[in-house]
Amino acid sequence: MSTDWLRDAVIYEIYPQSFADSNGDGIGDLRGVIDHLDHLSWLGVNTIWFNPCFASPFRDAGYDVSDYLQIAPRYGTNDDMVELVDAAAERGIRVLLDLVAGHTSIAHEWFRGELAADGPSPEGDRYVWSLNPPLRDTSGDIPGTAAWVPSPGPRPGWYLKNFFDEQPALNFGWARLEPGEPWRDAVDAPGPMRNRQALRDIMAFWLDHGVAGFRVDMAFSLVKDDPGHGETTRLWRDLRAWLAEAYPDAVLIPEGIEPRGQGTPAFDADFLLVIFEQHASLFDNGGAGQVPFHEPLEPFFQAEGGGSFHPFLDAWEGLTSEAPSRPLILASADHDLNRLAHGPRTAAELRPAFAFLLTWGTVPSIYYGDEIGMRYLPGLPDVEGSICNPAYNRSGCRTPMQWDGTANAGFSTAAASELYLPIDPDPARPTVLAQRDDPGSLLHLVRDLIALRKDEPALGARDGTRVLHADYPLAYLRGDDHLVLINPTTDVRTVELPRLDGARLLLGEGVGVNGGAVTTAACGFGIWRLQP
Ligand code: BGC
């Protein structure tokens, strides 16, 4: 047993609120997912990543957990999760859960207990408390997230939050202790040690229920004032070592790129999501908002060209040269900002984007609905913390999955808009039903690309990737014998490429070979095997 399976994963991210609603209350549930496993199996994905589906007041869509060991009643029961995991396994699909490691909800009994106390717990505080409002915030990387909040209960003083005020940071200690700042516990103080043990207990509980591992939310937010994240990495390395013994095939995936330091990596992969610059340099065409982690830039995938492939390529080359066999997961999009179908990007432009996502040497993660080209809907109201600030609106990427043209799979339009986010009101919105009947649809293309990736292992995450033309059109070799050409623009593009004589086109649209030159029509792409 080992974690090597992750290199062959094709991940599908399910935002449970919005995927499939079996009981018509307007909110998705686990039974809805179980009912659609055959569809996921038809599509060909082999790993599901669930956003948090645990008990929660849903101030931050479930990233504010009030009980890690209990499925949120609105999604079902723990037994439903076990049934889902088993039914998925029968179809060769693994299930990953989201581990919100850095904070809980204020409704968690740990927090309620400390809030009701009149001072520190004799066993060590699970949260970070200060009697006086601390003057400086040296606690986190994300401006304004790790800040102090006045106690809303009997416990005097202030507590440290990790994201929204209702998400108090769990106390994993501080890398630097300062005289006069008594809230800075050492990383091995009793409170931090209790929390480390709790992470083990939570992981063991769900692994014993059959899940395959975890995506770790804000993985590097744990130890505070930790320049370079050295102490946080050590903490995860400890947990990783325990996992390797206790659950050898379970994986741990961080949100983002694990900081490179001394010693073995703590996580099994790196994960490029929409908030990261390298991802944005491929796909983010702005508009929905700007997360405060990077400067706005022109994405490589856009109709008029003008972007650069280099920010992504440089990151890829850096990461793979350090650790060639370590997977880098690349999302089509996710629950934290734009979808792939966003702004002026047309349905035709999604086709080369998916051809890239499913033939590059990364492990693909498909955000539910992207495979049919569901659009980001601008201007939707805040639902369950989806608007972080006026310029950062996540509502538009969290709308209900568009199964068919009418109310279906429980997503009655009325119920969904009353209780949750509305379904895209455009009568021409893409749907699974229509696209399954249309062999020329994006859904069929995504399915064909996933199938091709399985049939031609050189297109997966194990073989090398060598770029031949890092501009428009993009051209790269996979392994020794597979060549991929991608034209993200709406212009006709031509490039000279060697070795195409006699090559076999495995899948392509709008490409023509003439001697050593290949021409691609607007949004064309081609995948060739060079040796017949
Ligand atoms: C998640 C967000 C969440 C935040 C706080 C992020 O990494 O992806 O959706 O709001 O962490 O938990």
Give burial (CB, 10 Å; 0-12/13-18/19+) of 427: exposed
pLDDT at 330: 98
**Top mutation candidate among 54, 63, 334 for ligand 1, by most atoms within 8 Å of CB:** 63
Distance separating alpha carbons of residues 16 and 196, to the nearest angstrom: 27
CA of 77 to the centre of ligand 1 (A): 23
Q: State which H helix or E strand residue 399 sits in.
A: none
Can you tell me which residue has the tokens 């949750």? 420
pLDDT at 83: 98
| Among 342, 332, 282, 284, CA closest to 474 | 282
Residue ranges of the chain whose pLDDT lies below 50: none
8 A C-beta contact, residue 253 and residue 272:
no
CA of 335 to the centre of ligand 1 (A): 9
What are the Cα distances from residue 79, in Å, to 29, 31, 73, 122, 211?
13, 11, 11, 36, 13
Strands in 94-100's sheet, in edge-to-edge order, are 251-254, 213-217, 94-100, 47-50, 11-14, 363-367, 328-331, 270-272
Q: What is the pLDDT of residues 63-85, one digit of tens each?
A: 999 999 999 999 999 999 999 99
CA of 163 to the centre of ligand 1 (A): 8
Q: Domains of the chain (ranges plus CATH)?
A: 3-100+269-451 (3.20.20.80), 467-529 (2.60.40.1180)
pLDDT at 357: 98
Q: Which atom of ligand 1 sits closest to the CA of residue 162?
A: 5
- Dihedral (C-alpha) 319, 320, 325, 329: value to the nearest 10 degrees? 60
Computed from CA positions of residues 219, 224, 228, 231, in that sequence, does the dihedral angle turn out positive or negative? negative
Computed from CA positions of residues 324, 327, 331, 335, in that sequence, does the dihedral angle turn out positive or negative? negative
pTM of the complete model beyond 0.95 = yes
Q: Could you tell me which residues come within 8 angstroms of residue 343 by beta carbon, excluding any fewer than 6 positions away?
A: 285, 286, 287, 288, 376
* 305 backbone φψ class: left, alpha, beta (φ>0; ψ -120 to 50): left
Distance separating alpha carbons of residues 42 and 262, to the nearest angstrom: 43
End-to-end CA distance of the chain: 35
CA of 494 to the centre of ligand 1 (A): 42
pLDDT at 409: 52
For ligand 1, which residues put their CB under 6 angstroms from it?
Answer: 60, 63, 100, 163, 217-218, 255, 335-336
pLDDT at 146: 78
8 A C-beta contact, residue 366 and residue 332:
yes
- Dihedral (C-alpha) 430, 436, 437, 443: value to the nearest 10 degrees? 60
